[in-house]
């Protein structure tokens, strides 16, 4: 039996056309009802990710306009659809993978398939859960699923101050790896506190030599893969795994691709949206967060009607961690 949520109308942030942050408007829309295998979540917090802006800009497709963006959600279950057995009304949950082919989380309520959400322990607050969901799942897929990083290996994280980067540092350190990262020098102390043993200023002229002298890399988590394809090959140890997640431009190249054969380097390019079981990954991340082993840094929080400013800031401002929208 479907349990209807208590609201019939809600506020949601939508874009009616593609463009910059100014195309986002707060509209009153019908509250969703759960379809088979879905729950409706009353949203307490939603994270702000660069990928959310790509849908708004039109770089990534949306099924229709106007459209509600937002990948991450944390809140309580308000309605349960047919076929759902693992979640009940008032359960605390969090999830990711929304806003991609279906309405997202920048709203007072969102319908979510159960394979995109997980139970949220009382020890983890909603803002932290929303901030962790997408970036944590991405870091997990990179380090655990694709790279199969092992204790005592050296993991190099490019862009350690970013959303994925600062969580990947913590996850790799928790797995027993030695963690190195590239970032702005102003964030050295912050990233060392998160678990990085070496923080390399990405602007230094001798960056490649410095990374090699520090032991090279057995695993590379690359958030700027168009810039570092050759660099990664040059600093990689034999048998290294390079996991490409993000890019700043649409092209990249090698100056000497032959080095990849000599070292038998494996390159894996990935998207979090392709994860087989997001819910299962979220359950493990929630446990790590509850134990204080992997915790997102929240740099700033915004109200729902400030989502446009949050989306501007996530691309233009420099900071460690994540931005969230709280309701």
Dump pLDDT digits (tens) for 98-156: 999 999 999 999 999 999 999 999 999 999 999 999 999 999 999 999 999 999 999 99
Structure tokens at 301: 């929080």
* Other Cβ atoms closer than 10 A to 9: 10
Residues 59-91 have pLDDT tens digits of 999 999 999 999 999 999 999 999 999 999 999
> What pLDDT does residue 250 have?
85
Which domains does the chain possess? 9-120+297-326 (3.90.180.10), 135-273 (3.40.50.720)
* Other Cβ atoms closer than 10 A to 173: 18
Structure tokens at 296: 């997102």
> What pLDDT does residue 247 have?
87
Query: Which parts of the chain register pLDDT below 70?
Result: 1-7
> What pLDDT does residue 248 have?
85
In sequence order, the 6+-apart residues with CB closer than 8 A to the CB of 253 are 229, 230
Q: Which helix (H) or strand (E) holds 323?
A: strand 322-326
Estimate the crossing angle of helix 307-316 against helix 50-57, to 10 degrees.
110
> What pLDDT does residue 3 have?
45
Q: What angle do CA 188, 139, 64 make, to 5 degrees?
A: 115
pTM: 0.95
Report the SS3 class of residue 257. coil
């Amino acid at each position: 039996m479907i349990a209807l949520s208590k609201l019939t109308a809600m506020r949601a942030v939508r874009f009616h056309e593609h463009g910059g942050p100014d195309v986002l408007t707060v509209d009153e829309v019908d509250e969703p009802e759960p379809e088979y295998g879905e729950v409706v979540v009353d949203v307490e917090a939603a994270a702000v990710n660069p990928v959310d802006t790509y849908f708004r800009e039109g770089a990534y497709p949306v099924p229709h306009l106007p459209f509600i963006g937002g990948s991450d959600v944390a809140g309580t279950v308000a309605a349960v659809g047919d076929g759902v057995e693992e979640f009940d009304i008032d359960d605390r949950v969090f999830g990711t993978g929304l806003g991609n082919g279906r309405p997202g989380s920048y709203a007072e309520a969102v319908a979510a398939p159960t394979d995109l959400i997980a139970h949220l322990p009382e020890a983890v607050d909603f803002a932290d859960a929303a901030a962790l969901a997408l970036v944590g799942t991405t870091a997990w897929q990179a380090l655990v699923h694709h790279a199969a990083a092992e204790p005592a290996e050296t993991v190099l994280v490019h862009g350690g101050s970013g959303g994925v980067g600062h969580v990947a540092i913590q996850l790799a350190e928790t797995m027993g790896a030695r963690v190195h990262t590239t970032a702005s020098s102003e964030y050295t102390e912050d990233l060392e506190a998160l678990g990085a043993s070496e923080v390399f200023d990405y602007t230094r002229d001798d960056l490649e030599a410095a990374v090699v002298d520090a032991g090279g890399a057995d695993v590379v988590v690359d958030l700027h893969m168009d810039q570092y394809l050759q660099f990664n090959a040059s600093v990689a140890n034999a048998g290294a795994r390079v996991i490409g997640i993000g890019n700043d431009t649409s092209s990249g190249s090698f100056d000497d691709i032959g080095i990849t054969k000599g070292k038998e380097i494996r390159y894996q390019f990935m998207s979090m949206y392709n994860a087989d079981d997001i819910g299962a990954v979220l359950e493990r991340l929630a446990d790590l967060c509850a134990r204080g082993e992997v915790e997102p840094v929240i740099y700033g929080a915004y109200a729902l009607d400030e989502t446009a400013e949050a989306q501007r800031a996530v691309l233009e401002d420099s900071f460690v961690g994540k931005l969230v929208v709280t309701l």
